[in-house]
Structure 1
């Protein structure tokens, strides 16, 4: 009898652990969506200098792709100018080529020693376009989060027989999803406010 009770308790502990692992897995996936959204928002050019727009730029050097910030100093010179000074002079044309090939849509000015990137001021039309694009990205991210919620609700339904326990987990999954949606909405609202203000 004691053996059966211990076995039952052990089984419950394993099941609970599995459910907690599933919840952690779900949160990890939602975190990836949140971080991807943050990255997207950080790269939006809003008429002020922001070195994060250069984060993904790599330079072909000795047949290797090297991140720009590993081979040059990058600094904000003033409100809308970024300066890039390579640590080796021969890197200057390679860096310039990489920036031109990237999708940031800015032409750097090469003075022979460093590159100057001037971020143009936003027109009213461009502001509206950015806000529209941001809202599309927001809706897309929300759909992904809701799909993750739907997927984990289905998994929990298969794993949990007791309806009360399932409803408890379902409620928790819904709460977590709402929290992540709220986080990305706040990030976007802040960015859209900046875009309208500048």
Structure 2
């Protein structure tokens, strides 16, 4: 019973951490990163598909992403999809290769992005703490039903607290790395 509660809590905390890390990749830094275009959808014969399913996405240099369409007639559609996305990018096609330069970030914009990243981190921490609360409530219910002893409940709560501390430290580490990345010029 106790191990099931711990295992369930750990799985949920892992999912919260992964969701936070995924959200961090969506926050744009000044450097080029192919993952930025993962959520850009292109009209491909009537259905919307991600850019990386109709083209090769690669880095040309530190500030430029290269997109090479697999079909010549898709170049204009891919360029339009990137321009229309909310990423603020301005692609330019050169033959069958689309160059997507990453604009420089101003100091003010960097500070705004750091605020966004910090609020995302706080949301992830709250999610982890909510999972801890739910697990502790399950332990209390098991104790009330006399399925476990008070010692088992205490040990279970201690283990959940250690797990919570570990995941919050991971969130803080990812936040610090992203902040450093954002402030790097």
- Would the TM-score normalized by the shorter structure come out above 0.5? yes
Q: Which runs of 5+ in 2 are unaligned?
A: none
Q: CA RMSD in A?
A: 1.5
The question of 1:192 aligning with 2:179 is answered: yes
SS class of match (1:55): helix
d(CA) in 1 for partners of 2:35, 2:49: 16
Residue 102 (structure 2) aligns with: 119
Distance in 2 (alpha carbons) for counterparts of 1:137 and 1:115: 32
Instruction: Quote the offset at 1:112 in angstroms.
Output: 4.2
| Cα separation, partners in 2 of 1:101 and 1:23, compared to 1, 3 Å | farther
What's the counterpart of residue 176 of structure 1? 163
Equivalent residue for 1:23? Answer: 6
TM-score after normalising by structure 2: 0.91
> Highest CA radius of gyration, 1 or 2?
1
Give the equivalent residue in structure 1 for 2:28.
Answer: 45
In the alignment, the residues of structure 2 paired with residue 197 and residue 60 of structure 1 have an alpha-carbon distance, to the nearest angstrom, of 35
Report SS of the residue matched to 2:66. strand
3-state SS, counterpart of residue 115 of structure 1: strand
Higher relative contact order (CA 8 A, sep 6+): 2
Which consecutive unaligned segments of at least 5 residues does structure 1 have? 1-17
- Displacement, 1:33? 1.1
Flag as ranges the 4+ runs of structure 1 deviating above 6 A. none
2:53 is equivalent to residue 66 of structure 1: no
